[in-house]
Amino acid sequence: MSSSATGQPYQPKTSVGKITNFVDTRVGGSAIVKEFGRKIFPDHWTFMFGEVALYSFVILLLSGTFLTFFFDPSMAETHYDGSYVPLRGIEMSMAYASSLDISFDIRGGLFMRQVHHWSALLFVAAVSVHMLRVFFTGAFRRPRELNWVIGGVLLILAMAAGFTGYSLPDDLLSGNGLRIIDGVVKSIPVVGTYISFFLFGGEFPGTVIIPRLYVLHILLIPAMILLLIAIHLFLVVVHKHTQFPGPGRTNDNVVGFPVGPVYAAKAGGFFFIVFGIIAAISAAFTINPIWNYGPYDPSPVSAGTQPDWYIGWVDGALRLMPGVLAGFPFEWNIPFPWGTNTLSLNVLFPALVPAGIVFTLLFAWPWIEAWVTKDRREKHLLDRPRNAPTRTGVGVAGVVFYCVMWAAASSDLIATHFMVSLNDVTYWLRALVIFGPIIGFVVARRIALALQRKDREIVLHGRETGRIVRLPHGEFIEVHEPVDEYKRYKLVNFDSPEALTAQPDVNGHVPKGEKRRAWASKFFFEDRVAPVTPAELEEAHSHGHHGEVASEHDKAAISSH
């Protein structure tokens, strides 16, 4: 609105108008609002998880800033003299003492601590659910592969932010967690002990780890997260949002509502809903009751020591790893000219291999799928999970793999609460961590294929109404109600790549990579259920005499009943 159609400069009449015009002519705000405010977003409840993650991050920044005003990241020794009686006079670090002060002697401190910790759990949970939605609907395909990778990096950063954060209070629980990380670092061959000494500034626990983690937690990691969130959102705007198939929705358009005014209001309101839910939880449920755990001291370890849920799977993997398997030891002492080095595979394997598998597959998946399908077109229409059965199976396998390891992190609680032997829990979970993902893959893929067949059936023959009608000539039929056009659109409009056989190159030779791709393609799409074609639909409706649609004469008879 900085200039009118006649070329005359716009003259605001009110004082508010004058101020806004002054700003607008200098920063060009209306152009931004015009561009961004008319951005169309499609509506679906699963598209809001990213927003939840963003909002919990904003809440983390706000509550975290409050906590930095009172937290003292120092490992200097002190004697607690605050108002929590069961710890009064106990020797502890300044970090732990100031965390106790935040909890008991600073107005609103405990609430803010709980807001910070609950929103941290929600942040990582929302990031995970958001990624699962993107994975299962195929929203990572071209042109969004890089944004998917950025999302993966954000997940790792979120986990790092969580870990560095819950280690800060220097209580017994967090110290136990740091000790495990120290053990994992030390299990790295040859250089492990050096890295550990650099990290802790000498022998564990030392006096520098808390200040170092603090700098990472409040400066480096949040800055990286913010930067990547900015790029992530910028790319969302550049790529435009994906949408589920439906009438009028194609790969070349976005059907939905503009950001302004409806979405802006909704998103703003949703922020307060998320904030309200976190505040309600924080007010009613305690989290990380550090006063129960006492100050960190390397000698005691409490029963039931686990990390927060997003690190729990690594802890679970460590718990599941056998030290010796059928006489094969996982710990070797290797004599080198400079002395003996210990190779602790029983720590190194579980700490690195599961996370390595999950993150390698996660980052590589867009390219794996593009390679298998040879499909490099842009995809703006989402898949329903059932329409990509192999991908859905792989995703479910990953979820099962993760959940079994998370369960293993609470093996002791499973044992006490269900009155079973801890050893048996461990044996079963060891079997499940290997077979569970395979079973999950097969079952999920089968269910997806079955649902696709059901969709086909509905499109071709309509919905079973449960109405049994006897025709004048004595035949009994069940009346099928044809699916309406809008719904049918959703059921037939999807990509269904076919298994591609290996293609020879110009010399008539089939290269090895091509053979491998053909094998993978067969594995992915061999038993695909093809979407209904218009011809099939036409045929099913025209010769409508296998029960679903009776002849004109019969129809009249049915409707008169």
Interface of this chain with other proteins, residues 206 to 265, rule: CB under 8 A = 257, 262
Restricted to residues 378-397, the positions that interact with other proteins (CB under 8 A) are none
Q: Under the criterion CB under 8 A, does residue 126 sit at the interface with other proteins?
A: yes
Question: How many residues contact other proteins, by CB under 8 A?
Answer: 75
**Nearest distance from C-beta of residue 529 to other proteins, angstroms:** 29
Site track for other proteins across 141-180, x = CB under 8 A: -------------------------------xx-------
Separation between Cα atoms, residue 286 and residue 115, nearest integer Å: 10
> 437-476 burial, b for 16+ CB within 10 Å, e for fewer?
beebbeebbebbbebbeebbebbbbbeeeeeebeeeeeee
Q: Under the criterion CB under 8 A, does residue 327 sit at the interface with other proteins?
A: no
Residue placing its CB nearer to other proteins in the complex, 301 or 361: 301
Residue placing its CB nearer to other proteins in the complex, 48 or 491: 48
Instruction: Please tell me what DSSP assigns to residue 326.
Output: T
Stretch that binds other proteins, among 116-124, 466-474, 528-536, 553-561 (CB under 8 A): 116-124
**Nearest distance from C-beta of residue 189 to other proteins, angstroms:** 30
Q: Which secondary-structure segment (H or E) carries 324?
A: strand 324-325
Q: Which of 65, 292, 333, 465 binds other proteins (CB under 8 A)?
A: 292
Q: For residue 507, give the 3-state DSSP assignment.
A: coil
> 211-247 burial, b for 16+ CB within 10 Å, e for fewer?
bebbebbbeebbebbeeebeebeebbeebbbbbbbee
Looking at residue 62, its amino acid is: L
Site track for other proteins across 297-316, x = CB under 8 A: x-xxxxxxxxxxxx-x----
Residue placing its CB nearer to other proteins in the complex, 151 or 462: 151
Contact between residue 127 and residue 57 where contact means Cβ atoms under 8 Å apart = no
Residue placing its CB nearer to other proteins in the complex, 456 or 487: 487
Secondary structure (DSSP) of 522-533: HHHHTT--PPPP
**Nearest distance from C-beta of residue 307 to other proteins, angstroms:** 6
Look at residues 50, 67, 61, 62 and name the one whose alpha carbon lies nearest to residue 226. Answer: 61
CA-CA distances (angstroms) from residue 35 to 1, 31, 237, 258, 264?
A: 13, 6, 10, 10, 14
User: What are 208's two structure tokens?
Assistant: 């520098």
Restricted to residues 38-67, the positions that interact with other proteins (CB under 8 A) are 43-49, 52
Residue placing its CB nearer to other proteins in the complex, 287 or 447: 287
Q: Under the criterion CB under 8 A, does residue 283 sit at the interface with other proteins?
A: yes
Residue placing its CB nearer to other proteins in the complex, 253 or 496: 253
Residue placing its CB nearer to other proteins in the complex, 111 or 349: 111
**Nearest distance from C-beta of residue 47 to other proteins, angstroms:** 8
**Nearest distance from C-beta of residue 280 to other proteins, angstroms:** 9
Q: Which residues contact 277 (CB under 8 A, 6 or more apart)?
A: none
Residue placing its CB nearer to other proteins in the complex, 188 or 317: 317
Residue written as tokens 């870990």? 163
**Nearest distance from C-beta of residue 533 to other proteins, angstroms:** 31
